[in-house]
Amino acid sequence: MGSSSFGTSSGSSFSRPAPSASAKSLPKGKKRRWVKWTLWSVAALCVVGGVVLWKANSLVSRIAPNGNIFSNIVNSLPGVEKKLAGEDAGRINIVLLGMRGKGVEGGGLLADTIMVLSFHPKNGENDAARASLVSLPRDLYVTVPGTSDKQKINAVHAYGEEKGDGQGLKAMETILSEVTGQPIQYAISVNFKGFEEAVDAIGGVSVTLAEPFTEPMQFREPHVCDPAVFTVPTSPQQYENKYVTTGSGRRRLVASYPLCYNKDVECGGVFNLPAGTSVLSGEQALCYSRARVTSNDFERAKRQHAVMQAFQQKALSLGTLSDFSKMNALLNSLGDNVQTDMEAWELKRLFDLYTENKDIKLAEDTVIDNSENGLLYAPQNTGAAGYILLPKGDNYDKIHALFSSLP
């Protein structure tokens, strides 16, 4: 091929525009200084802007490990219209998980609390924003995504984390999409320490009880030994065994952990709340939310819903949930105790949607259980699987119907 040249459509060659008179009139030395000053100014702006953007993104990079700073910057720019997954369809589903936390031996990554928050943003003048909160029990027996293994749903997060940081959230989204029949777009997890700190950061939460509440047993129970808290060995030594059901139906022992007592005794050993209204500290709110031995997991889930609503009301009264700087400060205080797969711009968009829908109502507040009218049952003779729950009809049809009917 012959050589080519840039040209116009008529074939004439491209030529640079002549320099302006002002540019021509600059002496050579001054022109170099002007160019140098301009380059330094641009460089300085880039550095300062980069630092600001890095600071703004640093929090999210800690709690959203899969976030991309460049997409976060672009999608947060004024005039860039980008919506959350599910927003156009009118339903954003977010998994909320609570657990002891990474680094805690013998089940720190097992989900102690599993909720689905379903949010319908306001769509037009005649529509109203609404949300639904549905709890699923940790003993629901499922097939672990990507395997043929059967396990309680609370173990799915731990299985995912074995593949890499953040994969536990994705695994929970996958299994809950299957269980609910709805796309689960996002997930947020908070460990016990983060929960305590969040409650303390807003000055505690108020709960009102018709009668006294007491948990005299649970917080004296042994737990898997760790070097910091559960350090007093049981005598004789007890163990907590972890099993998995293979695709062939066989139970396989995967781990055995020695049990110890808490050297300081959690929640004072016996946790009590009087009738009437009490303002709970972070530690008290956690004890109240975790207590289950003298009741059950379903009653515990109802208490967790009550604490969450109390937190929302208190945070709203303080302006925390309507002021992004206050919300950012709260998240910053939580640091590594919170994890999500949402990117920075998605968190900001969710915050904006929340503030745009201040009249949001909790239209559905449900705990899926095994009561007479519930959607689950507890099978007998489960062998090494122990206590598990299965969906009635041995399929998820009724649970799908519940989620499809959410207002």
- Confidence band of 403 (pLDDT split at 50, 70, 90): very high
In eight-state DSSP terms, residue 145 is: T
pLDDT tens track for 138-156: 999 999 999 988 999 999 9
Specify whether 171 is located in the same domain as 98. Answer: yes
Specify whether 247 is located in the same domain as 336. Answer: yes
- Confidence band of 28 (pLDDT split at 50, 70, 90): low
- Rounded to 5 degrees, what are φ and ψ at 402? -60, -50
Q: Of 127-131, 173-177, 265-269, give the lowest mean pLDDT range.
A: 265-269
Residues near 180 by beta carbon (within 8 Å), at least 6 away in sequence? 93, 116, 134, 396, 399, 400, 403
The pLDDT score that the predictor gives to residue 46 is 35
Q: How many domains, the chain?
A: 2
The pLDDT score that the predictor gives to residue 404 is 96
Q: In whole angstroms, what is the distance from residue 19 CA to residue 34 CA?
A: 16
Q: In whole angstroms, what is the distance from residue 404 CA to residue 329 CA?
A: 36
Among 11-20, 46-55, 274-283, the range of highest mean pLDDT = 274-283
Residues near 218 by beta carbon (within 8 Å), at least 6 away in sequence? 271, 290, 291, 292, 293, 294
Specify whether 59 is located in the same domain as 101. Answer: no
Give residue 211's region: left, alpha or beta (phi > 0; psi -120 to 50).
beta
The pLDDT score that the predictor gives to residue 52 is 34
Greater model confidence, 284 or 248:
284
Q: Of 46-55, 58-67, 165-174, give the lowest mean pLDDT range.
A: 46-55
> Is 76 among the domain residues?
no
Considering only the C-alpha atoms of the chain, give the largest distance between any 2 of them, rounded to a whole number of Å.
96
pLDDT tens track for 62-80: 455 554 444 554 455 554 5
> Is 77 among the domain residues?
no
Burial (0-12, 13-18, 19+ Cβ within 10 Å), 359: exposed
Specify whether 96 is located in the same domain as 222. Answer: yes
> Is 18 among the domain residues?
no
> Is 80 among the domain residues?
no
Find the CATH number of the domain harbouring 384.
Answer: 3.40.630.190
Contact 147, 391 (CB under 8 A): no
> Is 381 among the domain residues?
yes
The pLDDT score that the predictor gives to residue 50 is 38
Beta partners for 186?
94
Residue type, 389: L
Greater model confidence, 104 or 58:
104
Q: What does the block give as tokens for 174?
A: 């996958």
Specify whether 310 is located in the same domain as 355. Answer: yes
- Confidence band of 177 (pLDDT split at 50, 70, 90): very high
Specify whether 141 is located in the same domain as 52. Answer: no
Residues near 3 by beta carbon (within 8 Å), at least 6 away in sequence? none
Specify whether 179 is located in the same domain as 280. Answer: yes
Quickly list DSSP for 10-69: TSPBP-PPPPPHHHHHS-HHHHHHHHHHHHHHHHHHHHHHHHHHHHHHHHHHHH-TT--H
Specify whether 158 is located in the same domain as 46. Answer: no
pLDDT tens track for 312-363: 888 878 877 777 677 777 777 677 888 999 988 888 888 888 878 767 778 8
> Is 74 among the domain residues?
no
Specify whether 323 is located in the same domain as 380. Answer: yes
Looking only at the bridges linking them, the beta strands covering 276-280 and 205-209 are antiparallel
Contact 192, 99 (CB under 8 A): yes
Q: In whole angstroms, what is the distance from residue 401 CA to residue 375 CA?
A: 10
Contact 229, 221 (CB under 8 A): no
Give residue 140's region: left, alpha or beta (phi > 0; psi -120 to 50).
beta
The pLDDT score that the predictor gives to residue 276 is 97
Mean pLDDT of 236-243: 87
> Is 230 among the domain residues?
yes
The pLDDT score that the predictor gives to residue 4 is 37
- Confidence band of 81 (pLDDT split at 50, 70, 90): low
Q: In whole angstroms, what is the distance from residue 47 CA to residue 35 CA?
A: 18
pLDDT tens track for 310-319: 998 888 788 7
Please determine, for residue 35, whether its predicted confidence score (pLDDT) is greater than 60: no
Q: From residue 167, give the alpha-carbon distance in Å to each of 100, 107, 139, 233, 351.
A: 17, 16, 21, 33, 24
- Confidence band of 243 (pLDDT split at 50, 70, 90): confident
Beta partners for 215?
271
Specify whether 248 is located in the same domain as 348. Answer: yes
What is the domain range of residue 56? 31-63
Specify whether 117 is located in the same domain as 254. Answer: yes
Looking at every residue in the chain, the average pLDDT score rounds to 79
Q: In whole angstroms, what is the distance from residue 40 CA to residue 26 CA?
A: 19
Q: From residue 153, give the alpha-carbon distance in Å to each of 20, 92, 142.
A: 71, 22, 6
Length of the chain: 407
> Is 286 among the domain residues?
yes
- Confidence band of 34 (pLDDT split at 50, 70, 90): very low
The pLDDT score that the predictor gives to residue 353 is 86
Cis peptide before 379 (omega within 30 of 0): no
Specify whether 53 is located in the same domain as 98. Answer: no
